[in-house]
Amino acid sequence: MSIQLTILGCHSATPRNNAHPTSQFLEINERHFLIDCGEGTQTLLRKNKIQFAKIRHIFISHLHGDHFYGLIGLIATFGLLNREHDLHIYGPKGIKEIITLQIKLCKSWTKFSLIFHELNGTESTVVFEDKKVIVRTIPLDHRIYTNGYLFQEKEGPRKLNMEKIQLNPEIQVCDYHNLKKGKNFIATNGAEIPNEKLTLPPKKPASYAFCSDTAFLPEIVSLLKEVDLLYHEATFLETEKSLAKKTKHSTAKEAATIAKEAQVGQLIIGHYSNRYKDLTPFQKEAEEIFSNTHLAQTGKMFSIG
Amino acid sequence: MSIQLTILGCHSATPRNNAHPTSQFLEINERHFLIDCGEGTQTLLRKNKIQFAKIRHIFISHLHGDHFYGLIGLIATFGLLNREHDLHIYGPKGIKEIITLQIKLCKSWTKFSLIFHELNGTESTVVFEDKKVIVRTIPLDHRIYTNGYLFQEKEGPRKLNMEKIQLNPEIQVCDYHNLKKGKNFIATNGAEIPNEKLTLPPKKPASYAFCSDTAFLPEIVSLLKEVDLLYHEATFLETEKSLAKKTKHSTAKEAATIAKEAQVGQLIIGHYSNRYKDLTPFQKEAEEIFSNTHLAQTGKMFSIG
């Protein structure tokens, strides 16, 4: 599985018994990320049987409470669980001060390193990169400084075309590594067989984009082009469009419009306002624009590849 | 009912699905107080159908996360609910900085006034007083600066002794007010009837003491003398006494010893370490010292008078 996304919380504003604020757990190409961390996230991680130790990187979109009030508690719990691994936290400038002030006043310094990556840029930037995954910000338009995040697998090795390879007895298992890396094969007589005659293109890298919270912002479409999975907030329905505009949120229709324009694979919507008891109108409104739309729901999982 | 206490959360350290960190809702003589506010408190208030607007005063014992990480979220929710009433917060020095920093960075200033009463004294002090209730600190002994709180009804008016009053036709309904206030009755012939011949003593004022977190501290007994209801933390059993000492917590036996020495009416124990799956040994250990012991449990209510 290239990507597995678990929705922990997907409602806006105040936590309620069955409406948890935003948080998501993402597995992508063997990396594990927590995205946003509303109050109660650590309890939802337990409910969904997600091992705390897997989380090495936490991405916070913005400093509204329903996206980060659970962070300090999660860090404290990591401490109580005797965590040793570094924890990287990506989020708006100010997040370091909030967390360290509380740690200082609680006299509960962690034994593991807390590494903050504070953001204040307004252009998309790479914030994480290793040999398997790259993560960039998606600058959004909300009441306070906010970023979405684009998670992309890196292109893997080329795949061996065994049918072709077996026709040439000179090619040994020890040559496979170079073939996967794209090198041509040199026969003992000096003849060069082009790599593309012996291999197939690598699997298309999977990608996931998280966009919350934001007003309708067509400028992000170019960043989201053909992502496999897009989460886009849909706090309101079109009937409350003026409220969406005033509070810098999106409607289901607007989220679907972004998905359609960016030609994404699937759309997930969430961050529903607590005013809506029935969520089916969200599905209906979005589907009219973009048919492959799914409603976020606590505990729901989405997989790619 | 003079006192009604609702246990919201009563476990220590990390929140789990069915083990919530400390918070309690107290009604005493028509006043409503929230005591401690661990992560998830606002959801527990909703589950227990407690109206948010009733809460005018929040008392925080200390700045360990399991006692206050839910506070910023509750304040944010009060804001979203368009609260107008002042909110008074009592707690250790530093609590104002933690809350206001987050409000500032979230750009979510409340329309209602937030009034902080920061504490740093080491002697018992009156922190709240009106005509019905008085609240004092109970300095405790924990790893960081910690106070318990003693909530006491003020003595009410004397009760009319109707049997005696009805024997004297000169006493009218309009005289009752003065009689309740303790004044003597002056007959038309100038004779003075002593108040205690016409009234009965007022109802004994009820009291509740909250003591969490603390090492065994016999010095608090004098403050707790004959309170009707005592909550005293019991994080450990005697089998983990050395751990209790090291972490400055109490065992069930120690909590019961305080209750016995102070001759309280009832004892509630809680703040159980997550290491214990079965809580009955807590009840058993405490009962051997003080029989009227109850285990705190989410949603459990205790009433006096």
> What pLDDT score does A177 carry?
94
Instruction: Output the six-digit token pair for A77.
Output: 């719990």
Yes or no, beta carbons of B17 and A72 under 8 Å apart: no
Q: Quick check: B40 and A15 CB within 8 A? A: yes
Least-confidence region, from A17-21, A206-210, A297-301, B145-149:
A17-21
- pLDDT tens, B168-208? 999 999 999 999 999 999 999 999 999 999 999 998 899 99
pLDDT value at residue A230: 98
Rounded to a whole number of angstroms, the distance from the CA of B268 to the nearest CA of chain A is 26
Q: How big, in percent rounded to 5, are the helix, strand and coil portions of chain B?
A: 30, 30, 45
Helix (H, G, I), strand (E, B) or coil at B143: coil
Taking the CA atoms of residue A70, residue A74, residue A77 and residue A78 in that order, the dihedral angle to the nearest 10 degrees is -170
* Whether residue B92 sits in one domain with residue B30: yes
CB B70 within 8 A of CB A39: yes
CA atoms within 13 A on the CB side of B133: 21
Q: Which residues of chain B have pLDDT under 70?
A: 1
User: Radius of gyration (Cα) for chain B, nearest Å?
Assistant: 22
Q: Are residues B189 and B277 in the same domain?
A: no
A166/A69 same-domain check: no
A278 and A263 share one domain: yes
Rounded to whole angstroms, the Cα distance separating B75 from B58 reads 11
pLDDT at A144: 96
3-state secondary structure of B145: coil
CB contact under 8 A, A13 and B143: no
Which distant-in-sequence residues (6+ apart) come within 8 Å of A230 by Cβ? Answer: A208, A209, A211, A224, A258, A259, A262, A264, A265, A266, A267, A268
- Are B123 and B178 in the same domain? no
How are beta strands A159-160 and A199-200 bridged, if at all?
Answer: antiparallel
Is 90 exceeded by the pLDDT of residue A108?
Answer: no
Residues B58 and B175 grouped into a single domain: no
Tell whether B273 lies on the interface with A, counting CB pairs under 8 A: no
CB B45 within 8 A of CB B8: yes
Question: So what's the pLDDT on residue B1?
Answer: 65
- H or E segment and range at residue A44: helix A41-47
- The pLDDT tens digits for A277-298 are 999 999 999 999 999 999 999 9
Residues A226 and A261 in one domain: yes
A137, A167, A200 — which closes off a domain?
Answer: A200
Q: Annotated catalytic, B66?
A: yes
Same domain assignment for residues A87 and A164:
no
Nearest to A17 among B47, B73, B105 (CB): B47
Number of domains in chain A: 2
**Average pLDDT of chain A, as a whole number:** 96
Strands (E), A13-154: 23-28, 31-35, 57-59, 87-92, 114-119, 126-129, 133-139, 147-153
- A211: confidence class by pLDDT, cuts 50, 70, 90: very high
B260 phi and psi, to 5 degrees?
Answer: -65, -50
Whether B166 and B88 map to the same domain: the answer is no
Q: What is the pTM of this model?
A: 0.91
The 10s digit of each residue's pLDDT in A132-184 is 999 999 999 999 999 999 999 999 899 999 999 999 999 999 999 999 999 99
Q: Which residues contact B186 (CB under 8 A, 6 or more apart)?
A: B192, B193
B97 and B235 housed in the same domain: yes
pLDDT on residue A63: 97
* Domain boundary, last residue among A148, A178, A200: A200
Domain identity same for A193 and A149? no
Give the range of the structural domain holding residue A133, as residue numbers without chain letter. Answer: 3-156+203-304
* CB proximity B17 to A under 8 Å: yes
Between B106 and A248, whose confidence is greater? A248
B39/A73 touch (CB, cutoff 8 Å), yes or no: yes
**CATH number of B247's domain:** 3.60.15.10
- Model confidence at A1, pLDDT cuts 50, 70, 90, reads low
B1/chain A closest Cα distance in angstroms: 29
